[in-house]
Structure 1
Amino acid sequence: MKTLFMWAFIAILLLICSLSVVAQTASIRGRVISEGDPVPLVNISLASTGLVTSTDSAGFYELTGVQAGSYKVQASAVGFKKMAKMTFLKAGESLRLDFDLSNFQNDLNEVVVTGTLKEVNRLESPVPVEVYTPAFFRKNPTPSIFDALQNVNGVRPQLNCNICNTGDIHINGLEGPYTMILIDGMPIVSSLSTVYGLSGIPNSLVEQIEIVKGPASSLYGSEAVGGLINIITKKPQNAPLFSADIFGTTYAEFNADLGLKTKVGKATALTGVNYYKFGNVVDHNHDHFTDVTLQDRISVFQKWNLQRKENRLFTLAGRYLYEDRWGGETNWNKSYRGGDQVYGESIYTKRWELIGNYQLPVKEKIFFAFSYNNHDQDSRYGDKSYIATQKVGFGQLTWDKKIKAHDFLIGTALRYTYYDDNTAATELNNPAKNIWLPGIFVQDEISLSPNHTVLAGIRYDYNSLHGNIMTPRAAYKWKLNEQNILRLNAGTGFRVVNIFTEDHAALTGAREVVIATKLKPEKTYNVNLNFLRKMYANDGTYFGIETSAFYTYFNNRIIGDFDTDPNKIIYDNLDGYAVSKGLTANFDMALNNGLKLVIGATYQDVATFEHGIKKQQILTEKFSGNWAVSYRLKALDLGIDYTGNLYSPMRLPLLGPLDPRKEFSPVWSIQNIQFTYTGFECFELYAGIKNLLNWTPNRGNPFIIAGSNDPFDKQVIYDEYGKVKPTENNPYGLTFDPNYVFGPNQNIRGFFGIRYTIK
């Protein structure tokens, strides 16, 4: 009896223990992020079990009822490579297991539109397209896209004036007029307004920025000679409900980006507001001129997406920009505007834009895209005035048609430009205020095999001033495998010139403008070889490298001659040819410990050849490099970003043999550091230091602005040949000139900001 009782007791005890073990099942919970943002709808599964769940809108997940043991936990989502982690669970344990998919984002499959004028995966595009997301630009927050592009390899925002800080965008050494700026694929930013058009676009509304280096005139027409930058704004339906990004600096700069999504019936609207204010007079180099232009800018952007049958596209967007900027003598105020008592450069800008894209209600993929912009500029450069109006209307009809191995894009476009200003040179060089540019183009992307693609295209335009223009184009893509791609592109480009839309030096009145002859359109021939390699490891380590070799040959290159006469700018077509050639490389690496590294370098040789003499292009570096080093301390929810760029010497515009300023700039670098805290659910806090080396262009120079003590040249004396005579008050024989500029003139400064997002 005792034995029976003993065995019963043991059985009950074992049953209780087994039930206790069963009751003490484990659980796994955590969060999934990418580039610091939560990723919803990520599948979380345990291999060899039926357990699976998905993340919520904030990126959180939880798996319950898991037995003790070893498991491989997998995270998978559309647009990301699968990530797996091994873990061991104890009975009753609640394990926290987070996933950072930043390294696993399948960026080769990013959708791009710029290279071929239609949506394709970046991997499949025969034209190399560089893609930059807002996460890249958040590593060094800036008040405008113009400033943000300083961290892109081979792209340099060039300031053209020490006083008013106007500028343009250089791509591979070619000056701003050779760069076309697009918003949502529309040529909305014309050469008159490159710097103004890139200012005031709310960074929070940008989905991505696509950059093509090299001529794209066969698709986009005039101005797309050196390359193009396409700013893709967010689709309203994918944007957060509300977003705000506000920061200030110790220079007393203030910038605010606000975004709001609303739904009205079948339409979704995205509204963005950008406000930038800098009203602090700074003169650290003690030349009695402002070091940095004072600005007051507001921009309002709204984009509508209308829901239609069969998901046909119809988007409509508009933007209004107003800016008041000035620089000059520190005691200047608006009562001196346009006078000759106190020197100031004051610019009022009013600009509005309209962009639309409508898919026709037919079975074929036919789209009508259109844009219109009106730009009014009222400027005073001392006692010189520059008052200009430019209106650009654009319409384009495209038919996207696939026939077996051929993917055709057939289109017709019409561009209308009205331009007028108050300068006599405009009447001399461009008597026609209205320019019509109708054109047609055909592009055929031929799939020879799964790994070989050929693209051929040709465009015909008729310019109402210059007649017929043909621009052919060809590209070849060899997909060696999923990680290695080789691309070869060749084509021609053309550009119709209006010097006053692109050269600030011609507007200031500091030099006399001379147009030697009637200017002819420029034409270019270009070839570009590109190689892309991406490598992924199972542990999350990622390496990527992209290299390109480029060569561009110019006929009828327009040259502004600053050297023949220091008091004149002489414009003429080059009696010879010009060449831009070089090599560029991008390397990026991401380790599973949270360290990321992006490094870019470009070597370029941009020169003119006239009468057997080679001359380096002014204000153009031979070598440039940039980097972004990022590290995330997951335990502290803290991100660290160290960014910077480096430039080799460039030739600078001197005023004569006695000018004591350096003929070549030094090697210079701007470096920044930022700390970002992401421990809050909807908030991000960030702070850092810009220009860590405290570098400014006046380092090593006696002065930057020539004649700052006599900006109206009242004490300048000329000899019988019209040359400036050195005097006791003017020992170097200089006139007033603010165009000796090659970098930003802001000292070291701190910044602090906050981002708030409601999904």
Structure 2
Amino acid sequence: MMKVYSAHLTIAMVLTGFISFGQTGKINGKVYDKNGMPLGAASVVIPKLQIGAKSNNSGRYIVESIPHGTWEVEVKHIGFKEFRDSVKVGPGVLTKDIQLDWAELLLDEIVVTGTKTFKRKTESSVMVNILDSKTLDNLQVCNLSEGLKFQPGLRVETDCQTCNYTQLRMNGLQGGYSQILINGRPIFSPLMGLYGMEQLPVNMIEKIEVVRGGGSSLYGSSAIGGTVNVITKLPRANSYEINSFYQRIGGGTNDFNLGGNATLVNEKGNAGTSFFFNKRDRGFYDANGDNFSEMPKIENTSLGINSFYQFSDNQKLEVSLSNLNEYRFGGEMTDKPAYLTQQSEERHHKIWMGS
């Protein structure tokens, strides 16, 4: 009789163990920012259980083998506020998408323009002002020229009624004394910089670093007034974006802008490619009806590609190639060739940039 009782007790204990082992669930979902962009490499952890996972390039995560019950989930990502919430785990899979908010204090952002080396902003010996892509999107600007108008100490001036070139005045000096860089390289000559600011679309810009004051020892004689360094976007997660902008000037002139970009990153996150394109068409604008334009006709097409491959923590290869193609015609509003008009100016820029 005793042997039978012991056998029954052993079987009951084994069955109880199987039932306890099977009472686990899963949590999955997506981590993204307030603009809906996926956040890769976000840490999703249940601190009490010391288990968790990291989100992939699409922002997706899954935490497995979670015992049934109510647990606190903690989510962290560099540059974002920490997220905490309680979830109730039961049988099956619980789906929970998580939105992270940007951290307000970014005082130690990395800058390169001040000393031509990567330094924290607070450690740089030169004052560097930053205008990031998030701010440019909020301002609803479509090119570099419009974005720089919102930087303190800078004056973007539109000159010449016929061609409407823009020059960037820093410290009161003319535009030829302001150096414009693309990823730290002087792609534009001082003369080309007068037209180039309107040719650079904002959807290719990651951030703009501005240094006011002479920097000729680092960037040459064109940097007497100051330096503007345009940092182009590098891929961080798989995503795409298409945007358009339209305005009607004076009730009769159309200004249409269409742009887009896409990024592709591998699963390891050590290689990726980003593409961008931008198309702008603006007609003549005649403010006083004299058949001479106050704003010229513009046909602008920009496209480019940026790629990177990271060999190790301190070795990375970056390659970029872009093309700017702009036709600009101002003066007498006619279909005649420029040399047959009473007064006009016609310019056609075809620029290739690579690094």
> Which range, TM-score by smaller chain?
0.7 to 0.9
Aligned partner letter, 1:53? A
CA–CA separation in structure 1 for the residues paired with 2:294 and 2:49: 66
Write out per-residue CA displacement over residues 266-310 of structure 1, whole angstroms, 9 at most, x where no aligned residue. Answer: x976554433222x3443554543343211123344556577799
Unaligned 5+ segments in structure 2 are 1-11, 249-253, 266-270
CA–CA separation in structure 1 for the residues paired with 2:52 and 2:315: 35
Q: How far 1:174 moved relative to its partner? A: 4.2
3-state DSSP of counterpart to 1:142: coil
Does 2:246 correspond to 1:249? yes
Aligned partner letter, 1:274? N
CA–CA separation in structure 2 for the residues paired with 1:57 and 1:32: 10
Does 2:321 correspond to 1:324? no
Q: How far 1:58 moved relative to its partner? A: 2.5
Does 2:199 correspond to 1:197? no
CA–CA separation in structure 1 for the residues paired with 2:131 and 2:34: 13
Write out per-residue CA displacement over residues 384-418 of structure 1, whole angstroms, 9 at most, x where no aligned residue. Answer: xxxxxxxxxxxxxxxxxxxxxxxxxxxxxxxxxxx
CA–CA separation in structure 1 for the residues paired with 2:189 and 2:246: 31
Give the aligned partner of residue 302 of structure 2: 299
Please identify which structure carries the higher strand content: 1
Contact 1:274–1:298 (8 Å) recurs in 2? yes
* Structure-to-structure mapping, 1:400-411, within 5 angstroms: none
The alpha-carbon distance between structure 1 residues 269 and 95, as it changes in their structure 2 partners (threshold 3 A), is closer
Does 2:332 correspond to 1:333? no
RMSD of aligned alpha carbons:
3.9
Give the aligned partner of residue 4 of structure 2: none
Contact 1:204–1:243 (8 Å) recurs in 2? no
Give the aligned partner of residue 119 of structure 1: 118
Give the aligned partner of residue 107 of structure 2: 108
* Structure-to-structure mapping, 1:6-45, within 5 angstroms: 30-34=29-33, 36=35, 37-45=37-45
Give the aligned partner of residue 136 of structure 2: 137
Q: How far 1:255 moved relative to its partner? A: 2.8
Aligned partner letter, 1:295? I
The alpha-carbon distance between structure 1 residues 326 and 56, as it changes in their structure 2 partners (threshold 3 A), is same
* Structure-to-structure mapping, 1:645-664, within 5 angstroms: none
CA–CA separation in structure 2 for the residues paired with 1:110 and 1:101: 17
Contact 2:199–2:326 (8 Å) recurs in 1? no
Write out per-residue CA displacement over residues 703-729 of structure 1, whole angstroms, 9 at most, x where no aligned residue. Answer: xxxxxxxxxxxxxxxxxxxxxxxxxxx
Q: How far 1:188 moved relative to its partner? A: 1.6
The alpha-carbon distance between structure 1 residues 315 and 216, as it changes in their structure 2 partners (threshold 3 A), is same
Give the aligned partner of residue 5 of structure 2: none
Aligned partner letter, 2:278? N
Contact 1:28–1:97 (8 Å) recurs in 2? no
* Structure-to-structure mapping, 1:375-386, within 5 angstroms: none
Aligned partner letter, 2:159? N
Q: How far 1:43 moved relative to its partner? A: 0.8
Contact 1:185–1:230 (8 Å) recurs in 2? yes
3-state DSSP of counterpart to 2:122: coil
3-state DSSP of counterpart to 1:138: helix
CA–CA separation in structure 2 for the residues paired with 1:313 and 1:139: 31
CA–CA separation in structure 1 for the residues paired with 2:118 and 2:47: 36
Contact 1:324–1:349 (8 Å) recurs in 2? yes
Give the aligned partner of residue 280 of structure 2: 276
CA–CA separation in structure 1 for the residues paired with 2:196 and 2:319: 18
Contact 1:305–1:314 (8 Å) recurs in 2? yes
| TM-score normalised by L of structure 2 | 0.74
Question: Greater CA radius of gyration, 1 or 2?
Answer: 1
3-state DSSP of counterpart to 1:139: helix
CA–CA separation in structure 1 for the residues paired with 2:182 and 2:300: 19
3-state DSSP of counterpart to 2:187: strand
Q: How far 1:140 moved relative to its partner? A: 3.2
The alpha-carbon distance between structure 1 residues 283 and 173, as it changes in their structure 2 partners (threshold 3 A), is same
Write out per-residue CA displacement over residues 442-467 of structure 1, whole angstroms, 9 at most, x where no aligned residue. Answer: xxxxxxxxxxxxxxxxxxxxxxxxxx
Q: How far 1:159 moved relative to its partner? A: 0.7
Contact 1:165–1:292 (8 Å) recurs in 2? yes
Give the aligned partner of residue 55 of structure 2: 55
3-state DSSP of counterpart to 1:334: coil
The alpha-carbon distance between structure 1 residues 285 and 273, as it changes in their structure 2 partners (threshold 3 A), is same
The alpha-carbon distance between structure 1 residues 285 and 243, as it changes in their structure 2 partners (threshold 3 A), is farther
Aligned partner letter, 1:194? G
* Structure-to-structure mapping, 1:733-752, within 5 angstroms: none
The alpha-carbon distance between structure 1 residues 66 and 84, as it changes in their structure 2 partners (threshold 3 A), is farther
Please identify which structure carries the higher helix content: 2
Give the aligned partner of residue 532 of structure 1: none
CA–CA separation in structure 1 for the residues paired with 2:79 and 2:175: 37
Write out per-residue CA displacement over residues 657-704 of structure 1, whole angstroms, 9 at most, x where no aligned residue. Answer: xxxxxxxxxxxxxxxxxxxxxxxxxxxxxxxxxxxxxxxxxxxxxxxx
More relative contact order in 1 or in 2 (CA 8 Å, sep 6+)? 2
Contact 2:57–2:236 (8 Å) recurs in 1? no
Give the aligned partner of residue 582 of structure 1: none
The 4+ residue runs of structure 1 with deviation greater than 6 A are 90-93, 260-263, 306-311
Aligned partner letter, 1:324? Y
CA–CA separation in structure 2 for the residues paired with 1:298 and 1:81: 35
Contact 1:240–1:260 (8 Å) recurs in 2? no
Contact 2:44–2:74 (8 Å) recurs in 1? yes
Contact 2:155–2:168 (8 Å) recurs in 1? yes
CA–CA separation in structure 2 for the residues paired with 1:239 and 1:76: 17
Contact 2:42–2:55 (8 Å) recurs in 1? yes
Q: How far 1:59 moved relative to its partner? A: 2.0
The alpha-carbon distance between structure 1 residues 223 and 46, as it changes in their structure 2 partners (threshold 3 A), is same
Q: How far 1:214 moved relative to its partner? A: 2.0
3-state DSSP of counterpart to 2:139: coil
Aligned partner letter, 1:276? R
Does 2:149 correspond to 1:147? no
CA–CA separation in structure 1 for the residues paired with 2:328 and 2:257: 15
CA–CA separation in structure 2 for the residues paired with 1:348 and 1:230: 25
CA–CA separation in structure 2 for the residues paired with 1:241 and 1:54: 16
CA–CA separation in structure 2 for the residues paired with 1:321 and 1:27: 50
Aligned partner letter, 1:249? Y
Aligned partner letter, 1:58? S
CA–CA separation in structure 2 for the residues paired with 1:314 and 1:197: 27
Does 2:346 correspond to 1:346? yes
CA–CA separation in structure 1 for the residues paired with 2:102 and 2:351: 38
Does 2:48 correspond to 1:68? no
